[in-house]
């Protein structure tokens, strides 16, 4: 199996074999699972289908979380967009609405694709699919971009972490944003170096982001951080596609993310002991939820 542990190796395999980054990941998956190319692609096709359904449901159904804390914000953005009230225009407004739709659906026990985690599941579908549909890419092209996203995610998971409990939110929403930036840059025809830059820039911008969920739930601030992760991914992709380079290479950014994660105290890694989770309002919410509990 032609495996890679770094972004640099990922790109080298593609260039040595004169194939796309997407194909590198597909080939690796075929070797790993002893499946055919069509079987591997079919599995990603299913993921894309669930992603699309999660956007639809999140936008159109009455979405309320189990705790009652969140839900309905995607609809607000969508309404404002339709009324022409967006500051940045239609596309960005749709990216935000679609991202929130998926994250809100997750909090409401809806069906989603973890990418890389459930807490960060809105970023990749909300950004990538919206940009792809705007530019009329085919599903097969989006599937290729999803493989590129997973390739970046594989490197991050190997070299650092994609778990909030281990690395903070930078490891979840940061990784998702990095994967998404790379996927969009790939989709829009960016070079391999531009894709690596996009991944690096997106992750750099969210370095140090802590995981401090209110009452321990995947809702506040997680859902809005997905929206931030999407806007950051678009920012990074737009820069990379314009030729802006990341001064720090992607592989070094990933190692830095791991080290920052290690340096973060446990209180800021999903334990809800500090940050937003320790604010007076969060403590009050937690108390109220506990009173309705066992």
Rg of the chain (C-alpha set): 19
Dihedral sign, Cα of residue 261, residue 107, residue 148, residue 23: positive
Among the listed residues 221, 223, 200, the one whose alpha carbon sits nearest the alpha carbon of residue 212: 221
Q: Within 13 Å of residue 98, how many CA atoms lie on the same side as its CB? A: 25
> What gap in Å lies between CA 68 and CA 83, rounded to an integer?
27
Least Å from the CB of residue 69 to other proteins: 8
168 binds other proteins (CB under 8 A): no
244 vs 274, beta carbon nearer other proteins:
274
The residue within the footprint of other proteins, chosen from 107, 199, 250, 254 (CB under 8 A), is: 107
126 binds other proteins (CB under 8 A): no
111 binds other proteins (CB under 8 A): yes
**Torsion angle defined by CA atoms of residues 157, 120, 59 and 44, in that order, rounded to the nearest 10 degrees:** 10
Distances in whole angstroms, Cα of residue 274 to Cα of each of 21, 67, 258, 271: 40, 21, 20, 8
The H or E element that residue 186 is part of is helix 175-187
273 binds other proteins (CB under 8 A): no
Interior/surface letters 213-249, b for 16+ CB within 10 angstroms, e for the rest: bbbebbbbbbbbbbbbbbbbbbbbbbbbbeeeebeeb
Q: x/- string (CB under 8 A) for other proteins, residues 40-59?
A: x--xx-xx--x---------
Choices 131-139, 152-160, 185-193, 237-245; region in contact with other proteins by CB under 8 A = 152-160
The residue within the footprint of other proteins, chosen from 74, 95, 131, 149 (CB under 8 A), is: 149
Least Å from the CB of residue 205 to other proteins: 20
> What gap in Å lies between CA 14 and CA 20, rounded to an integer?
6
115 vs 260, beta carbon nearer other proteins:
115
153 vs 174, beta carbon nearer other proteins:
153
124 binds other proteins (CB under 8 A): yes
Interior/surface letters 16-52, b for 16+ CB within 10 angstroms, e for the rest: eeeeebbbbbbbbbbeeeeeeeeebbeebeebbeebb
Report the chain's terminal Cα–Cα distance, integer Å: 50
128 binds other proteins (CB under 8 A): no
Least Å from the CB of residue 238 to other proteins: 23
Peptide bond into 221 cis (omega under 30): yes
# residues near other proteins by CB under 8 A: 57
Choices 11-19, 109-117, 260-268, 276-284; region in contact with other proteins by CB under 8 A = 109-117
The residue within the footprint of other proteins, chosen from 117, 180, 205, 246 (CB under 8 A), is: 117
The residue within the footprint of other proteins, chosen from 98, 150, 177, 192 (CB under 8 A), is: 150
Q: Which residues bind other proteins (CB under 8 A)?
A: 3, 5, 25, 28-29, 32-33, 40, 43-44, 46-47, 50, 65-67, 69, 105-119, 121, 124, 146-147, 149-151, 153-154, 157-158, 162-163, 165, 179, 215-219, 289-290, 292-294
């Amino acid at each position: 199996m032609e495996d890679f542990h770094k972004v640099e190796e990922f790109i080298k395999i593609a260039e040595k074999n004169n194939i796309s980054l997407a194909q590198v990941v597909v080939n690796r998956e075929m070797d790993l699972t002893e499946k055919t190319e069509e079987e591997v692609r079919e599995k990603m096709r299913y993921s894309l289908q669930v992603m699309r359904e999660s956007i639809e449901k999140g936008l159109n159904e009455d979405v309320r979380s189990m705790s009652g804390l969140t839900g309905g914000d995607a609809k607000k953005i969508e309404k404002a967009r339709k009324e022409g009230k967006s500051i940045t225009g239609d596309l960005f407004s749709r990216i935000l609405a679609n991202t929130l739709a998926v994250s809100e659906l997750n909090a409401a026990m809806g069906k989603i694709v973890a990418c890389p985690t459930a807490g960060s599941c809105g970023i990749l579908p909300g950004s990538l699919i919206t940009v792809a549909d705007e530019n009329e890419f085919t599903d097969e092209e989006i599937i290729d971009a999803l493989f590129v996203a997973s390739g970046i995610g594989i490197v991050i998971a190997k070299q650092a972490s994609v778990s909030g409990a281990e690395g903070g939110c930078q490891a979840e929403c940061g990784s998702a944003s990095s994967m998404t930036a790379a996927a969009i840059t790939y989709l829009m025809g960016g070079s391999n170096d531009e894709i690596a830059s996009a991944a690096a820039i997106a992750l750099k911008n969210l370095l140090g982001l802590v995981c401090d969920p209110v009452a321990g739930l995947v809702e506040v601030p997680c859902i809005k951080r997905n929206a931030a992760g999407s806007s950051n991914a678009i920012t990074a992709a737009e820069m990379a596609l314009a030729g802006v380079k990341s001064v720090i290479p992607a592989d070094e950014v990933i190692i830095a993310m791991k080290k920052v994660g290690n340096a973060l105290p446990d209180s800021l890694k999903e334990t809800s002991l500090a940050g937003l989770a320790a604010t007076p309002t969060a403590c009050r919410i937690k108390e109220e939820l506990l009173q309705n509990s066992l």
